[in-house]
Amino acid sequence: MTFRRLLPLACLGLLAACATSKAPNYYTLVPAARAPATSGATRTNVEVIDLMPVTVPASADVPQVVIRTGQGAVVPLNGERWVGPLADEIRSALAARLGSRLGIPVVQGLRPARQSLGLLVQVEIQRFDSALGGQAILDSVWRVQPTGGPTGGARSENRQRAAPVCRSYFEAPAGQDIASVVQAHQHNLAALGDAIALAAQAVGAGRPACPG
């Protein structure tokens, strides 16, 4: 059989392989439904929260779900992917949690009015590790600081106080499948959102501090 005859057969084989290859699974860190604002949460005079873009480690900032398999060994799973950039997924999950906990708007791109009494939230993810049958780990540093609002008086003095940089470390057990790993990360992000919400309440009351 000549090369000219083999070439179409090879192309057909490649097309068949592509047609039968399994489509990747996609996952999100945003919960399926937003719970109503907690009735016992402390109300603040804050009008809006401006959640800045989240930074994540370069090793985790890829479309694939990355699994840690040993000391220093990681594997990106081509068939298991995030539905959007990981930093955007984390940011959206935190926005949903903060909005639910505090009952006030959380914006991610829309700039609040200059006179609105708001909070600026910055989050840096330092570790985002996943291990099948192990732990999902979330290690972050973050800060909540007041912005906007009328000048002068007590509010102005409160705004001048240094906003502390806080650190939160969470881990949750993960099962033997990717869905359970994603659920564990959702649990960690909910806990981080709760910690930021507590700090937001403290800043709104004029007493900026990291949650104990």
Helices within 52-136 (DSSP H only): 86-102
Domain that holds residue 175: 38-204
In a domain, 25, yes or no: no
pLDDT value at position 206? 86
Query: Is 0.85 surpassed by the pTM of this model?
Result: no
Residue 17 belongs to a domain: no
Check: CB of residue 135 under 8 Å from CB of residue 173.
yes
**Tens of pLDDT, residues 47-79:** 889 999 999 999 999 999 999 987 788 999 999
Number of independent structural domains in the chain = 1
Strand order in the sheet with 165-173: 106-107, 48-51, 118-129, 135-147, 165-173
Which residues, given as ranges, of the chain have pLDDT below 70?
A: 1-21, 34-44, 112-116, 148-162
**Residue 26 lies inside a defined structural domain of this protein:** no
Q: Per the domain annotation, does 6 fall within a domain? A: no
CB-count burial class (<10 Å; 0-12, 13-18, 19+) for 36: exposed
Q: How far apart are CA 121 and CA 104, in angstroms?
A: 14
Cβ atoms 194, 94 nearer than 8 A: no
* CATH number of the structural domain spanning residue 168: 3.40.50.10610
Mean pLDDT of the chain: 82
Residue of 193, 187, 182, 201 lying closest to 99 (CA atoms): 193
Residue 131 lies in a domain: yes
212: in domain: no
Task: List the one residue out of 62, 51, 164, 47 whose CA is nearest residue 103.
Answer: 47
pLDDT reported for residue 204 = 85
Decide if 23 is inside a domain: no
* Residue 15, domain member (yes or no): no
Q: Residue 195: what pLDDT?
A: 97
